[in-house]
Structure 1
């Protein structure tokens, strides 16, 4: 069993726990994938298969992204033909539903690699992805899985089933979820998992949802779906079904403790109650919500009710420290109250709740530096110029730490980046290949955007 020793670190074991004292001058021993000892440097072993000298750097849990889209990497810098989209439905039709059609399986692989390199560089070690490629459905999740395996991170994958491209592709999406869930179990990897993807309530008929629910129940899994991401989803549900989005999903059996509802912005008190009563997970993506001008989810109220709420990025850059900062600021200005969404509440989203959500898919604890937990760790060269204590860690993270401070990224005891040099991926080669392929993707995108 390979061993890794990290010496002379300042350990921040759990940023969300005000009782978890910071530990300067400590060492962490990793055996295989798991942390086996956390001891003062004087008590640390003298040898290991690999030794990292931390030189007093911060050692923290790797960050977790609870909702993302690897397939969107080629959108960066891409122009949308015509005038700017005026609302979220236009953004969907003219950007995302044209881009996903433009992707081949090779584009899917490369788009994932671009995102995974960004994640490693910024200390994001576990990702829950939500994929779409309507013209390259079959096998798409295995292609992403191979990219994940190469990169060395931890990921839960699914395919977003939708009726927007016709019945045959909806059925193909269902089949891809079923195939991948079975394959992920057969692989027996501790770094890959599967759940059942659904696009959004407004692009799914009752018949398709009933078919998906039957398949998911036979496999014992939940769902990963966008819901109430702005007014359009609610308006469609009320006009078409005479009920609100969350009520409809509940009626059809989609909600539950294994299901992730991304966004949940335009929900009312009764819908929030249903999400709470069913122990359904909600993920918050503040940067995306601001960019799409779809509103602000009532995350402070959800947290007050001890709902299961995590933090994702919806495909934005994989510096989760930036997502934390945005969550901290957005709710203050929205409520006109600087007391709203305090630092520990943000840490609760990003660390406590994200780790609990990841625990639904992976077999050992993630998201804290503790004996017995997966050794998913990051080192940062953040040098605070004020005291760093258990009682002020959140504000060092929110006002001081950035993804650019990450020097080492470790997943399951494997060093994926050391001294800011990626070990598992050739970042320059990936970027060069992406620059070559992007014009072809963009050309296909322009063709599809005329008909979407």
Structure 2
């Protein structure tokens, strides 16, 4: 039994319960009880105790869209790379990186990404991987890294025609192999999807090939209309918008997640809604790639689409995306009221709902029988914290660097900023050595 107490407890349950001096009791992999620190310490006197020291106790964050393979891009200079648009960014940087990645690159970049996630209080990561330099076994490398670090994760491989039919089929096989492996697990720590890059790099034949290897209870993880060029491609080649094309091919549905959806029309929004397809928005990445601002407020409020929040490899700190998401829509719509309620809804309510379409244990909430994914943040605050203003305190006062303790599936993964059970210095050293090797190969 483990108690985490003496903190302002944000449960995220249906009653929006908030304890000014709250405590969480963990029994094994699940939450046993929540209440005041006094109540739970009296009720479980023999339990191990973590003192939050007046900070904040809350559910672990969930990142609904990440690209672990982007880890070694930090600080990288690519000879001759001067992008003028998003297609240049893909071809000149990301595809050049993933065509060079080997299995060791994938493994060590994943170790860093999962370590960084723990340090930023992210307990569940949905990743979208690409490593066309070495496809077979690449998801196993990510899986092994997640296992060693103890992070809950859902993985897929980015299927694309961009490197030819043989590699497209190898990517589908990599997905199918990992889907089967994850289905055999009983610990609810790793799941799988059929990954797809985007409509403009996948023919109808390839999409049908993906579908043939995708079980009915597994969906697709795909980028949709991230750039206007994707739209033009679909109209020119197929005479229809992207979402319509994917709908006609049976790609949409409750288990499918569409990334970005920046340049889509109202009818496409209706199709996403009517098929109960999930959408994840990535505000920092969209701004960084200069691809535009998605109609997220409209999709969420007018069409009722289940929308979540991801980082798209830009960072492993989802509070950054929360903060940028709050202001990008205000700026874009010239509306000071935009995103105040929508962004916390995406991060704190919708991300858990989306994740629970794959994971069995209830995520994103601290209540009996929910997953024991708990974080503690060192945050006092200059003003009173109440259940009505907790999102404002998080938005303006907290970030991933404030996380002191991270518990995942009942296991203490970080205590007082010290990650437990691993040689952190070795992970960083090995990653830097591997990154230097990758950089040399890219520019060689």
Instruction: Specify if TM > 0.5.
Output: yes
1:358-397 equivalent positions in 2, closer than 5 A:
358-397=355-394
RMSD: 1.3
2:117 aligns to what? 119
Q: Is the 8 A contact 1:35 1:375 kept in 2?
A: yes
1:161 aligns to what? 159
For residues 249 and 399 of structure 2, what CA distance do their matches in structure 1 show? 42
**Superposed displacement of residue 371, structure 1:** 1.2
For residues 328 and 130 of structure 2, what CA distance do their matches in structure 1 show? 29
Q: Secondary structure at the match of 2:307?
A: strand
Q: Is the 8 A contact 1:22 1:388 kept in 2?
A: no
Q: Which runs of 5+ in 2 are unaligned?
A: none
In the alignment, does 2:90 pair up with 1:92? yes
1:182 aligns to what? 180
Query: Deviation per CA, 1:374-402, whole angstroms, max 9, x where unpaired?
Result: 01110011001211111111111111111
Q: Is the 8 A contact 2:154 2:193 kept in 1?
A: yes
1:278 aligns to what? 275
Q: Which one of the candidate residues 418, 431, 434 is aligned to 1:421?
A: 418
1:6-405 equivalent positions in 2, closer than 5 A:
6-14=4-12, 19-44=15-40, 45-48=43-46, 50-216=48-214, 218-304=215-301, 305-342=303-340, 344-405=341-402
Q: Is the 8 A contact 2:5 2:22 kept in 1?
A: yes
For residues 397 and 176 of structure 1, what CA distance do their matches in structure 2 show? 39
Choose 382-391 or 47-56, whichever is displaced more: 47-56
For residues 207 and 146 of structure 1, what CA distance do their matches in structure 2 show? 32
**Superposed displacement of residue 250, structure 1:** 0.7
For residues 66 and 404 of structure 2, what CA distance do their matches in structure 1 show? 23
**Superposed displacement of residue 188, structure 1:** 1.9
Give the TM-score, by structure 1 length.
Answer: 0.95
Q: Secondary structure at the match of 1:187?
A: coil
Q: Is the 8 A contact 1:117 1:425 kept in 2?
A: no
**Superposed displacement of residue 50, structure 1:** 2.9
**Superposed displacement of residue 43, structure 1:** 2.1
Q: Which runs of 5+ in 1 are unaligned?
A: 448-452
Q: Is the 8 A contact 2:154 2:191 kept in 1?
A: yes
Q: Secondary structure at the match of 2:405?
A: strand
For residues 398 and 49 of structure 1, what CA distance do their matches in structure 2 show? 33
Q: Secondary structure at the match of 2:99?
A: helix
For residues 107 and 146 of structure 1, what CA distance do their matches in structure 2 show? 13
For residues 385 and 424 of structure 2, what CA distance do their matches in structure 1 show? 33
For residues 190 and 63 of structure 1, what CA distance do their matches in structure 2 show? 17
**Superposed displacement of residue 180, structure 1:** 0.4
Q: Secondary structure at the match of 2:387?
A: coil
Query: Deviation per CA, 1:285-320, whole angstroms, max 9, x where unpaired?
Result: 000000000000001011112211000000022111
Choose 238-247 or 48-57, whichever is displaced more: 48-57
**Superposed displacement of residue 446, structure 1:** 2.5
Q: Secondary structure at the match of 1:399?
A: helix
Q: Is the 8 A contact 1:21 1:389 kept in 2?
A: no
**Superposed displacement of residue 364, structure 1:** 1.4
For residues 274 and 185 of structure 2, what CA distance do their matches in structure 1 show? 34
In the alignment, does 2:426 pair up with 1:434? no
The number of residues matched between the two structures is 441
For residues 209 and 425 of structure 1, what CA distance do their matches in structure 2 show? 41
Q: Is the 8 A contact 1:174 1:212 kept in 2?
A: yes
Q: Secondary structure at the match of 2:184?
A: helix
Q: Secondary structure at the match of 2:252?
A: coil
**Superposed displacement of residue 26, structure 1:** 2.2
The alpha-carbon distance between structure 1 residues 409 and 38, as it changes in their structure 2 partners (threshold 3 A), is same
The alpha-carbon distance between structure 1 residues 412 and 48, as it changes in their structure 2 partners (threshold 3 A), is farther
For residues 203 and 396 of structure 1, what CA distance do their matches in structure 2 show? 42
Q: Is the 8 A contact 2:217 2:255 kept in 1?
A: no
